Amino acid sequence: MTAHPAQPTLEVPARVIPVPASLSPEAQAYLARGPLRVPPNPALDDIEDWRMRIAAIDQLMLARLAQSVQARPEGFQVDEISVGGRTVYVVTPPGLAPGDTRVYLDPHGGAFIIGGGELCRDTGIRTAAKLGMRVWSPDYRMPPDHPYPAAVDDCLAVYQALLRERRPHELVVGGVSAGGNLAAALILRARDEGLPMPAAAILLTPALDLSHSGDTFHTNLGVDTVLTGSDRSEMLLYAGGHDLRAPYLSPLFGDFRAGFPPALLASGTRDMLLSSTVRMHRALRAAGVPAELHVLEAAPHGFFGGNTPEDRELDNEVRRFIDVHCPPP
């Protein structure tokens, strides 16, 4: 008998990495904050501890939201509708052309466990402000009480509701981080269930591989100041025992030859999810799907927090891509 040879490895010494002077002052300041410090995750089966932790993070984020209320975009109409018993925040930006019937379906981010309720409403407003589009922001179910496939089921139900109100070519599906996962997953589910495809998909620093098999999970560990650990408890909590590589959990492993809408993908050179993003780009293109890639210099997961020239340049790329594939009337 022979043992399998060990997977070859590369030893990388410790390094000190400066904040690049080529970035905008705002992006430099964002990176200069250093790594986000997060307490360790609870044990996977300590549901009560997860509930407390999620509630604590939600409180923290709501407090931040309240503080930044003056910086919030104004004049947005927010209607709450119910789809399958879940709230969907329907956000209409001020000055939207009356005939602009397009909708951006935007499952929020938050590692599959946070970002619901008031934060979900806020996500919808911010996306509508960035894109100048009507946004549907679904308050989907989350762990620990509702692991996979609850979130995908909820997002798919909202997509089906949209299909009753709109034609598919008026719809864009997109998301950031875990929201990018859910956007891609709901598209694969919709396709497999015979539903028509939306006009475009927008996958921003997307969490497309819950098995964390990409190289930048290693190379950008310690380099990404936003995703700072190698613990993937949130993914396991969300997966609820399902195969992490199943396509509705990790859309990177889907078969795109059976169809996928034109897609814009974006990441940053410091992003732990850079590998997932570029691998998805390659997988889509190998399947003949029109897909374009944008990578921001030195950007960690989530880019630079949304309020830098670099973030706005990316917003402009997304608007342009949507206008090409889902043109305004």
**8 A C-beta contact, residue 33 and residue 224:** no
Out of 79, 80, 145, 215, the residue judged to bind its own copies by CB under 8 A: 215
3-state secondary structure 47-65: HHHHHHHHHHHHHHHHHHH
117 binds its own copies (CB under 8 A): no
Out of 3, 16, 66, 69, the residue judged to bind its own copies by CB under 8 A: 16
Match 């996958």 to its residue by tokens: 203
Give the C-alpha separation, 299 to 27, whole Å.
8
The minimum distance between CB 181 and its own copies, in angstroms, equals 18
Provide the residue type at 234 as one letter: E
Question: Given CA atoms 127, 133, 134, 136 in this order, what sign does their dihedral have?
Answer: negative
Classify residue 201 by its DSSP letter: E
**8 A C-beta contact, residue 49 and residue 43:** yes
Q: Looking at 135-143, 187-195, 255-263, 295-303, which segment touches its own copies (CB under 8 A)?
A: 295-303
Nearer to its own copies, 145 or 313 (CB): 313
Give the C-alpha separation, 276 to 263, whole Å.
14
32 binds its own copies (CB under 8 A): yes
String of contacts with its own copies for each residue 242-281, x by CB under 8 A: ---------------------------xx---xx--xx-x
Q: Looking at 29-37, 47-55, 84-92, 123-131, which segment touches its own copies (CB under 8 A)?
A: 29-37
String of contacts with its own copies for each residue 160-199, x by CB under 8 A: ----------------------------------------
Exposure of 277 by Cβ count < 10 A (0-12 exposed, 13-18 middle, 19+ buried)?
buried
Out of 55, 94, 282, 307, the residue judged to bind its own copies by CB under 8 A: 282
Out of 219, 229, 232, 289, the residue judged to bind its own copies by CB under 8 A: 219
37 binds its own copies (CB under 8 A): no
